[in-house]
Structures are given as C-alpha cells and as structure tokens.
Chains A and B, each alone.
Chain A
C-alpha cells in the first residue's frame, strides 16, 4: 500500500503542478489575488505530494521491497542501512524524483516566503516554477517512474554499484541537486521579470539570496564529489575534468558570475539585461548537466546507466526551457533600462571584468566538454579532451580573474581610484610575492609556475584580509572603534571576505598538491619496503576481513619517518563485492597536518621466489586538505552572506514596520 500511495502521490504532484502553473499565470495576467493565493497553495501541495512520494520510495528501499523495479535494480538486503536509503537517489529514476522534490521544494519556498515580492512578479515566478515542475514531474511519471512494479518479484536485488556505497556520495547528490535546482528559482524570477517587462534593483535583491543559497549548496556538492573521487577512486587525484564534473562546474561558474552582477544590479541598477541573461543561463547549464549525465552522449566514470530515448526527452525539455527563456529575453532585453552609469575604474567595472572572465571560462569548459561530441558528429572520430586543454585555456583565464580580485572590493562604486587601492594592497602584494619566492627557494624540486600559484593564493588571502582591515580601520583607529565597526559591519561583507579568502586557500592547496605530490608504486611481499619521499613504507601483513556485504584483503603498511619513528599504520583494503562481482580499493589516508599520506593496496601477484606480493601505491599529497577546506570556506561565506538581515526573506516588512 505504501508504494502505491507513493505512486499516486507522484501523479497528484504532477496534477497539482499543472494547477499551480495555470492558476498563478491567470492570476498574474488578470491581477487576481485570490487565484494567486490558490496557485501558491497548489505549489505547497505539489511539494507535499512529491515529498510523500519520495518518502515512500525510501521506505521501499529500507524494507527491500523488490516488487519495485527500481529497488530490485539498485538495492540488496546485505547493504548497510545508510546505503539502502541513499540507494533511493543512486539511480536515474530515483535521482529524477529527488530533482523534482528539490524543484517543487523551491517552488513551495517561493510561495510561502515570497511575501516581499511584488504580487505580479511573485505570481509569474510561481507560475514559471510550476511549469518547470510540470515538465520534470511529467518526465518522471511517464518516462522514468521510480515506482514501477514488477509482477515477477526477484528474490534478491542487484545492489548499488559499490563505488557509490560511500557516505560522501550518499550525501553528495542532495547537496548537488539543491544547488543545481536552486538556480531554477533564479530562472523563474528572471522569466517573471521579463514577462512583466520590469527588471530593477529591487528584483536583483530578490534574486540574490536564491543565487547565494544555490551557489553555496552547489559548492558543497561539488566539493563532496571531488573529495569522494579523491579517497574512493584511489587515483590520488581530486579533479579529472571529466564531463560530469564539468557539468556541475559550469553552473557553478555562471552562478558565481550572477552573484556578482546581481550586486551591481542591486546597488546601482546597472547591467539589468546581463543579470537576467546569467539567471537564465545558470539553470540552462544545470539542465545541460542533467542531460549530459543521463543521456549517455558522453562517457564518464560518474554517468548513470542511460537510455537514448530518455536523453532525447531531456534534450527537448532543456530546449523548451532555455528556448522560451532566451526568446523572451531577446524580445524584452532591448527595452530594459540600462541603469546607473560608471567609470572604467570602479567596482562595477571590476565586476564586469570578473563576469567576462567567468563567462569566457565557462565557454572554454563547455567547448572542452562538448568537443568530443562535435568532433564525432563531424568526422566520426572519437577523441577525448583532457587536463592539458583545460590547463592551457581555463587556468590562465582564472589566474587573470584572481589576480585582479583583491582590488575589486576596495574600489568605490561609480568612480574608483586605482592608485589609492594599490596603496592599501601593497602590503598584501609584497607578502604574497615574498612567500612565493620562499616557496621557490625552499621547496624542492624548484618550480616557478607552482611558486607563482602559491604567491597568487597568498595574494588572495592577503587581499581579502586587507580589505577587511580597511573597512574596520584596523591599526588606524583605537581598538574600541575597530570593534564597533566590526560589529556594525554587514554580514554580507564578512561573507565576501570569507569566500575570497577561501578561494585563496583553495589556490594554495591546488598549487602545492599538483606541483609537489610524491608518488611511488611497487610490488611488495610481506616485510618488504620502499621509500616514499621522506617516508619509508613497509608491508607488514595482509589479512582477510569481512564486511557487511563484501570480502576484503586488508594490508597493514607501517610508515616510518627518516628517524625510523612510526608515523602511521595504514590499513588499505581491496574489497570484493560478491553480489555484483566488483572489486574496489579502499584507500587509507593518514593525515599529517595539511598533508595526506595516501596508501592504496593493489592486486595480489606472484612476487620473487613464488611468494605472493601486492602492488602498494603511496602518495604524499602536500597541503591537499586546503583544496577541500577552501571551497568549504567559500560555502560558509555564502551562508554568512545569506544570514545578512538585508537578504533575509520575509522579515523585511516587519523591520520596516518597526521603523515606521
């Protein structure tokens, strides 16, 4: 009964989303408050029904109800509970339902908390969000229904890919989707404003919190994915420029550009067309990502098992949403006010430059991701675009953007003073250059580019701190005054500092890790050892262990330093999952401050003298923790900005009433 109730709830959600879209559109066009209210009620009902459907699916996974096709294909009774639950979004169908839950959840949030929006904008936005809901729910119900039943109920399920049975990957999709689909709200607001024909500073203020929330969640989602790739795939790397990674990265870049242009729009009323364009583009890239992952047009380690028909349907949906958006944009953009003027040297110009670079960078990533497709369509040749392309195109662009970043927040609005800004930044610049030189001189082998990267990282952190010090009059005013300014500083400013410093932390980690990683692999019999940088690795034992749903060989690798002291006893595993017949490696990571000692146990082979030997791979990943800490800081920065009372949703009226 529970499963069928879920199936019914999903269909009810689809019908309610039609009602949401229709009622709200009529209400907006004819200015009818009661129908607008009915549309909002339908939006909440849509979310409630979708949520119930999702809960029923999770129930089916938890109780291992193999009469549900999706459960039979993706679960197994042996699986630990967390992965049974996560199995609900581990497949194409289940994750589409999660997508719908998030999409309708944002719609309901807009309906419930959007009371500060102008009624017409709100009605249109709820209508557009409802239309997106109709599209995605219809696709889920008719083409990817996770509630489909089997008449021949199998005895056991086929289990979830063991690589996906991991805590980071269990929580990665909900964050990622919360980010991806969060841009749907921005899309709906842009569509509503274009239909209404009015984009102003107030509109930008409503767009910003949604963008911030979506972007912060997407940052966490991408970081979790990178972290998972780092410790689960056992290749020592964290980013592979894989199409699916790129698919999540492009909306992130556009989201970052939108965050900044919306500030200009809010403060100065400038760039209305461009901001609306970015708002449409962010969700278009989210949908492109969904299409790339699910259609099977590109091969990737992370892609879902796919089916071309579903791919075509997704492409059509993307075409409708993006086509309608950009068509409306083309019709309405020329009529938009261009807003406030600004000088070539000003904060607005800095942000425009940031936007140009971020958009160009997105275009290079898009080209690199789609090039194999284009090439295959033209001459049938299968090519792959790898890190060398992105290192040569994407990286220099980003370096340019990051080099000017610290100056941006110090420039005044409208008309800035470049030399005054440089006077405030020279300490940060000198410190960064010095630290870069120190890295060049001290760290071996000497690498100029990596040292420049280190300097860039310190420049970003120093620049962010210099800007904060400037705002607080640090060292220039008495401490009491600095404290007063610090407590009076809007949270948004703290968020900016955190996010920009987080970027610097990431650049530091990425430069260090990429340039100075030490890697060594050797087949070892018991008792044998090899040198890894300053460490000595000895394989002391290999034994069999049994997990809940796997058998494993567990190696005991003692790691000693130059003085012969035991630093860490690593226990990497090689797991065999009998249900699917797959083998995975379980990396052991010994954290050493900011560095990681990363140990992988490979397969058993015959060693010298017929004794068994195991391929042991070891990595010293210097400062790798910063790679994951940096984005976390950025996401926290986003959350801090979001908590700024100026952006808080729904409280505005009370605050203004209190003042009046």
Chain B
C-alpha cells in the first residue's frame, strides 16, 4: 500500500517535471523559423537533383522558380512569437502541480485503492499452505497441477489431479492428466481404469470405444480389476450383447467376497438390466465425496514428500499429522507424529500443536459403492 502511493507519487512527479522541463527549454530557445527552412531545403534538393543529371535544364529552371516563389510567399507570412511573461510561467507550474492531484482524486473514485496483486503462483502457494480439507476441488486441482509439474516423472500426482479435475467438472482436463499418467506408468492398472472411467463419464455413462480400449489395458495388467470387468460387461450390453455382458457381470459378482455390499448392488443392477432388456438409465454420477477424499490424499502425499526432502517446517508437520488423522490413516499418522516429535523434542509449543492435531477426529468415510476399483 505504501509502496503503491510512493510509486504513484513518483510517477506524478515525473509527469509534472516533464511538463516544467519542456516549458523551461522552450522558453529559452526561440527565433528560428523552420517554416522558411523547409522551403530552402526544397530549393537545395532541386539543385542537387539537377547536379546529378536527374533533372533536365528546363525542368530545373521551372521547378526552381516555383519553389523560390513559394519561399518568398512564406517569408511574407513568417510568424514571430513573443517572449513569454510571468503569466504563462505561472500557468505551466499550476498545471504541472494540479494535474497529478486531479489524477489521484479521480483514481480514488475509479480505481481500487489498496487492492493487492494476486499473481497465480502466489495464490497457489497460499492454497498449498492451507489445510487441504478446507479447499474446494478446483483449488486442490490448481495445487496438484504445480505438484505434478514439480514431479514430471511421477504418475501419482497426475492421478490425484485427474480426480480433482473431474470433481471440478473438468472431465477433459482429467482425461488429459490420466493420458499423461498412463504414459509415465503404463503398467498401472488403476490409471487405465481411471482413464476408462473418465471416458465413460464424458460420454454420459456410455462405454465408448476409447473407454473399452483403456479397460482392456487395465485387465491385461490386473485380470481381477473389478472396475474394468464391470465396465467391459456394461460395454457389451450397450453394444447389444446382453447375454455376454450379463454373464460377465455374474462372474464378477461371484468373485466378490461373501459379505461385500457391492454384491447386492450388482445383483440389483443385473435384475434391472434383465427387466429392461438393456441399460435402463444413465449411470449415477460417481460419489463426489470419495473423489474429494482421493484428492486430499494426493495433496497429503505431496506434503509428505516435501517434508521428506526439506523437513524443517513445523507447521507442515502439524498439517501432515492432522491430515492423516482426518483421513483415518492411523499408522501413517503415528509415523509422522514420531518423526516430528523427535525433530522438535525441544520445542514444547510445536509438540503441543502436534498432539492436538493428532487428536483430530477422522471424517466419516462415505458410501463404499463409490469406490469401484
């Protein structure tokens, strides 16, 4: 704020100084008549052209006579400017002083005084420093983008970025992140199913050709992948192969453990499809909260990685412990707590904050059906 007003004052002073300096110099030099000068130069040029043989004799004479007549006419009307008195000087000084004041007054009305710059990099750094649980998906996505840029050979941040982007409604961006991720780690089935699911979401629940390719890749790596098997079955039904798709689904249901709630869900869906003779209604949107959990996990991973490389950050450790507590990851929480306690054994304030963070209650885990992987 102070820096702004100092700069604004400097700018105003410079403008005023320009006016005064230029006025002072103009007052000092007067008396030449450039008007006549232009005509004299023209005469000189005509002569030069004639010397170079570029004008013949008759043309030269005619042109010279005409230019000479114009010179004489101009000399008759040549201006004489009077010297300035004290009035003009006072006016110039007044203008140089008042104009910047007017500008300041107008700025206070029109501008946004006190509004600071908000460059993107600084905002992301601020978000990164806050508790991930308090951020909405688009902000988490922005943070994860910088994280992914910092770790260009790691597929993990990209995976979380994709989750954050789909939670923000940016499915195309999620697809882009997952495409990069599978290029970095083509052997990870979860990335391929994630990519497939993004295609399905973009196509409003239809298992498109691109999606099927992705799910088949996943199945090649992990033949037990539930999401891939589920969607490929769904794809078959969508393509008209009702019997084949339902057979796949039944096999999938049979492979689920006995007490798994997803068993019931599958059986219900099989019954619905059989009754309708095809896919009845668009698939329900994936559970938002599960995705948010995933994104938070991604940010926490980023925080943990940062603390592993540059551990001298007491606030960071407190946030990490709290985040693990919120996520219900007890083992990780205790491990982080142990390293932080060792590090800050002589700082009771930090230790108190850490203990408080560790006692944060875990958030409710939502709908198990949200996680199909």
- Which residues of A does B touch, CB under 8 Å? 1-5, 7-9, 11-12, 14-16, 18-19, 22-23, 26-27, 31-38, 40-42, 44-45, 48-49, 52, 60, 63-67, 77, 111, 115-120, 141-142, 145, 147, 149, 153, 155-156, 198, 200-202, 205-206, 266-269, 340, 412-414, 471, 484-485, 488-490, 544, 546, 551, 576, 578, 581, 646, 652-653, 655-656, 659
User: Are B120's CB and A64's CB within 8 A?
Assistant: yes
Residues in B neighbouring A205, C-beta threshold 8 A: 38, 42
Residue of B nearest to A41 (CB): B22
**CB within 8 A of A34: which of B88, B107, B123?**
B88
Most buried by A among B15, B91, B145: B15
Closest Cβ neighbor of A119 among chain B residues: B81
- Is residue B255 contacting chain A, with contact meaning CB distance below 8 A? no
In Å, the complex CA distance between A585 and B53 comes to: 58
- When distances are taken between beta carbons in the complex, the residues of chain A under 8 Å from B170 are 578
Are A45 and B14 in contact (CB-based, < 8 A)? yes
Nearest chain A CB to B248 CB, angstrom units: 23
**Smallest Cβ distance from A417 to chain B, in angstroms?**
12
Would you call A19 and B173 a contact (CB within 8 A)? Answer: no
A66 to B4, CA, bound (A): 19
In the complex, per-residue mask of B86-121: 1 if CB is within 8 Å of any chain A CB, else 0: 001101100110011011101100111111111111
Docked Cα-Cα span, A49 to B91, in Å, equals 22
Report the nearest B residue to A646, measured CB to CB: B45
For B117, give its contact among A3, A206, A489 (CB under 8 Å): A3
**Given A8-B111, A45-B18: A23 and B34 within 8 A (CB)?**
no
Known: A7-B112, A34-B92. A65 touches B120 (CB 8 A): yes
Contact between B83 and A33, CB atoms less than 8 A apart: yes
Q: Does B306 contact A (CB under 8 A)?
A: no
Tell me, in angstroms, the Cα distance from A2 to B62 when the chains sit together.
62
Closest 6 CB pairs of A and B: A37-B26, A41-B22, A578-B172, A63-B119, A488-B52, A64-B120
| CA A200 to CA B67, docked complex, whole Å | 11
Secondary structure call for the A interface: helix
Give every chain A residue within 8 A of B82 (Cβ-Cβ).
Answer: 31-32
In chain B, positions 283-330 with a C-beta closer than 8 Å to chain A are: none
B117 and A63 contacting across the interface, CB-CB below 8 Å: yes
Chain A residues near B236: list those with CB within 8 A.
none
Q: What is B's interface to A at a CB cutoff of 8 Å?
A: 1, 3-4, 7-8, 11-12, 14-16, 18-27, 30, 32-35, 37-42, 44-45, 49, 52-54, 59, 62-63, 66-67, 70, 73-74, 77, 79-84, 88-89, 91-92, 95-96, 99-100, 102-104, 106-107, 110-121, 123, 138-139, 142, 145, 170, 172-173, 175-176, 179-180
CB distance from B71 to the nearest CB of A (A): 10
Q: Is the CB of A8 within 8 A of B66?
A: no
Given contacts A119-B34, A201-B39, A546-B176, 15 further A-B contacts (CB under 8 A): A2-B117, A4-B4, A8-B111, A23-B19, A34-B84, A38-B23, A40-B22, A48-B15, A66-B120, A119-B81, A153-B118, A202-B35, A267-B63, A578-B176, A659-B44
The answer to whether A38 and B112 have CB atoms under 8 Å apart is no
Closest B residue to A473 by beta carbon equals B53
Q: Can you show 14 pairs from A to B with CB atoms below 8 A apart? A: A11-B111, A15-B106, A23-B92, A38-B92, A38-B96, A42-B15, A42-B18, A42-B95, A64-B120, A118-B79, A142-B110, A485-B52, A488-B54, A655-B44
The CA of A40 and the CA of B20, in the complex, are separated in Å by 10
Q: Residue among B35, B45, B83, B172 with the most chain A CB within 10 A?
A: B35
B38 touches A156 (CB 8 A): no
Question: Quick one: closest B residue to A493, CB to CB?
Answer: B54
Contact A268 B54 (CB under 8 A): no
Q: Which of A5, A141, A142, A266 has the most CB of B within 10 A?
A: A5
With the chains together, A578 CA to B100 CA distance in Å? 46
Distance between Cα atoms of A375 and B15 in the complex (Å): 50
Contact B81 A8 (CB under 8 A): no
Cα distance A77–B59 in the bound complex, in angstroms:
66
Please judge, given known A-B contacts A1-B4, A3-B117, A7-B111, whether A16 and B79 are in contact too, CB under 8 Å: no
Nearest opposing residue in chain B for A2, CB measure? B117
Residues of chain A within 8 A (CB-CB) of B80 are: 31
Residues from chain A with Cβ under 8 Å of B73 in the complex: 200
Least CB distance, A193 to chain B, in whole angstroms: 12
Q: Are A32 and B142 in contact (CB under 8 A)?
A: no
Tell me if B18 and A5 are in contact (CB < 8 A). no
CB distance from A75 to the nearest CB of B (A): 10
Q: Which residue of B lies closest to A46 (CB)?
A: B15
Contact (Cβ within 8 A) B173 A646: no
Measured CB to CB, the closest approach of chain B to A543, in angstroms, equals 12
Q: Taking each of A32, A490, A544, A578, which has the highest tally of chain B beta carbons within 10 Å of its own beta carbon?
A: A32
Q: Is the CB of A115 within 8 A of B34?
A: yes
Complexed CA–CA distance, A655 and B35 (Å): 15
Report chain B residues within 8 Å CB of A4: 4, 111-115, 117
Nearest to B59 among chain A residues (CB) is: A412
Judging by beta carbons under 8 Å apart, are B3 and A1 in contact? yes
Q: Is the CB of B99 within 8 A of A15?
A: yes
- CB-CB < 8 A to B11: which residues of A? 5, 8-9, 12, 49, 52
- Asked whether B26 lies within 8 Å of A33 as measured between CB atoms, the reply is yes
A488–B47 alpha-carbon span in the complex (Å): 12
Q: B111 near A23 (CB under 8 angstroms)?
A: no
Min distance, Cβ A210 to any Cβ of chain B, angstroms: 15
How many angstroms from the CA of A232 to the CA of B49 in the assembled complex? 48
Q: In the bound complex, what is the Cα–Cα distance between A414 and B66 (angstroms)? A: 11
Bound-state CA distance A26–B54 (Å) is: 46
- In the complex, the answer to whether A16 meets B99 with C-beta atoms within 8 Å is yes
Are B30 and A33 in contact, CB atoms less than 8 angstroms apart?
yes
- Closest A residue to B2 by beta carbon equals A1
